[in-house]
Amino acid sequence: MSTEIGKFKEGSPMASALRMERMPHIWCPGCGIGSEVNSFAEAVKRSGIDPRKLVVVSGIGCTGRVAGYVNFDSIHTTHGRAIPVATGVKLANPELTVVVFSGEGDLTGIGGNHLIHAARRNMDLVVICNNNFTYGMTGGQVTPTTPTSAIASTTPYGNYEYPFSLPFLVDAAGATYIARWTSMHSRNVTQSIEEALLRKGFSFIEVISPCTTLYLRRNRLGDGVDMLQHYQENTILKHGCDTRETAIDFQGKIVIGKFVDKDKPTYLEGVDKCCVKLVGDDYQLYGKTIPEREAEEKAEKERIAARRAAMQAEAQAEAVSAKPRKTSAPTAAVKKASAKAAKTKFQSKVMPAKQALAGTKKAPAKAAAAPKAAKKTAAKAPAKTVKKVAAKAPAKAVAKKAATAKKAAPKPAAKVVAKKAAAKKPVAKKAAAKAPAKKIR
C-alpha cells in the first residue's frame, strides 16, 4: 500500500507545487480549500513567474495550513498577522511575489485592521481569502462574514449581527483588483489568481467555500456536493458589478465575477516618487538606480512571457498526443474528391461504350444503362468481357432497362438511334479498351 501511495505522489501533476511528503492533508471531505490550492498551483504554473521568487504567507485556521503544504518559500504565522508579515517580506525584498492565503476569520476578524490598511496603501500583495462563514478549526463560531440568521456555535438561535461584504469592504479601503468566485468555479479562480500574480497593487480574491463539518451540518444544508449544486444554481455572474450590491444573505443569491481592476501607484512607487523628489537622481533603492530597475522589470516581463509561451506550447503538445489518431479533415476531403473524380472519369469513358453495345441490338441509347454492379464489372474487365456480359443479360432485364430508358429519354426513331450508335461504336470501343488501364494506373 505504501508503494502505491509513493507512486501516486511521484506521478501527481501537483508534485512540483506541493510538498507531497506531507500528504494526505487535514481538510475534511467536501471542503473547498483543496480545489483552491489546486487552482493556485495551476495559476503559478501558467503565470510563468519564478517559483524561487514566490512567498506564501498564511495565518491560523484551516486555510492557514496552506503554507505548510505548498512547495514554495512559506510562512505559517500567528493569528491575524498574515498581512503585516507579508508586508514586511515585500518591503525587505520588492523583487519577491508575495501571496497571502488565509480564511475570512483570520483576515477580516482579528486581522481586519491590517487588511484595510494594506488595501489603503495599495501594498503590492495578492490576498486569497477562503470564506466559509465559520471558524472551522476552533469550533464553528460566528465570523465577520456569517450571514444573518445562520446558526453557529456562538449563535445557536441564529446570527443577529450584520456581516461584512468583503468586496465592498476592500473596495472602499482602496484595493485595485477585486474578484469573487466559489470553490466550484475552479477555472475562474485560476484565471483570477493568474491575473493578480502578473499585476501590481493590492489584489483581493474571495472564494466562497463549504465547511461540511461545522457550517453545513449545523445549518442542515447537506454535504459538499449539495453545496456545490447550490453554488451552481444560485450564483449570478456580474463582471464590473458595483460592490455595494455584493452582499450575501443566508442561502441567497451570490454575485460572482471580477468587480474591480484599475491601476494606481503602489506603496513602493509612492515611496520612490517622494524620495526622488527630495534627494534627486542620487536616490537609489537597494543599490539600484531607477533606469536599472526599469531595465530589470522589462527583462523580467520578457522572461515571464517566454516562460508562459513555453508552458502553453507544452500543454498543447500534451493535448495533441493524448488524442487518438484520426484521419485529418483535409486528407479525408482530398480522398473524397479523388474518388469523385475517378467516378466521373469512369462514367465519361465506359458509359458511351455500353450505350454503343446497346445500340447494336437496336435498343434505345440509354436502354443499356447498367446497374452499379455492372459498372464495377465494366471497370475491372476488358471490352470483350463487357460484350459477353451484355450478350448474356436476360431478356427481361433488357426489357426492363429499355422501359426505364424510354421514361427517362425521348423516343427517337430506331433507325436514327442505330446509325448514331454505329457511328460512335469505334470511338466507344477504343474508350472502353482504355478504361481498365486508366483504372489500374
Domains and CATH numbers, the chain: 2-283 (3.40.50.970), 332-440 (no CATH)
Rounded to 5 degrees, φ, ψ at 8 are -65, -45
Output the pLDDT for position 310: 83
Helix 383-392 vs helix 414-440: crossing angle, to nearest 10: 130
Give the CA angle between residues 263, 269, 270 to the nearest 5°.
100
* CA pair distance 386, 374, nearest whole angstrom: 9
Q: Please, are residues 194 and 243 in contact by the beta-carbon 8 Å criterion?
A: no
How does pLDDT run along the chain (441 residues), one tens digit per residue?
466 767 777 777 888 889 988 888 999 999 999 999 999 999 999 999 999 999 999 999 999 999 999 999 999 999 999 999 999 999 999 999 999 999 999 999 999 999 999 999 999 999 999 999 999 999 999 999 999 999 999 999 999 999 999 999 999 999 999 999 999 999 999 999 999 999 999 999 999 999 999 999 999 999 999 999 999 999 999 999 999 999 999 999 999 999 999 999 999 989 888 888 888 877 777 546 667 778 878 888 888 888 888 878 887 887 787 766 554 455 555 555 565 665 555 555 545 554 544 444 444 444 444 444 444 544 444 444 444 444 444 444 545 555 555 554 444 444 444 455 445 444 444 444 444 444 443
Q: Please, are residues 49 and 304 in contact by the beta-carbon 8 Å criterion?
A: yes
- Residue 250 buriedness (CB in 10 A; 0-12 / 13-18 / 19+): middle
What's the chain's Rg over C-alpha atoms? 39
Q: Please, are residues 176 and 205 in contact by the beta-carbon 8 Å criterion?
A: no
Q: Please, are residues 224 and 244 in contact by the beta-carbon 8 Å criterion?
A: no
Across the beta sheet with 177-182, the strand order is 73-76, 54-58, 97-103, 126-131, 203-208, 177-182, 254-261, 235-237
> What pTM did the predictor assign?
0.69
Output the pLDDT for position 161: 96
Output the pLDDT for position 368: 43
Q: How far is CA 423 from CA 195, 224, 352, 387, 429, in A?
A: 81, 87, 12, 17, 11
Rounded to 5 degrees, φ, ψ at 140 are 85, 35
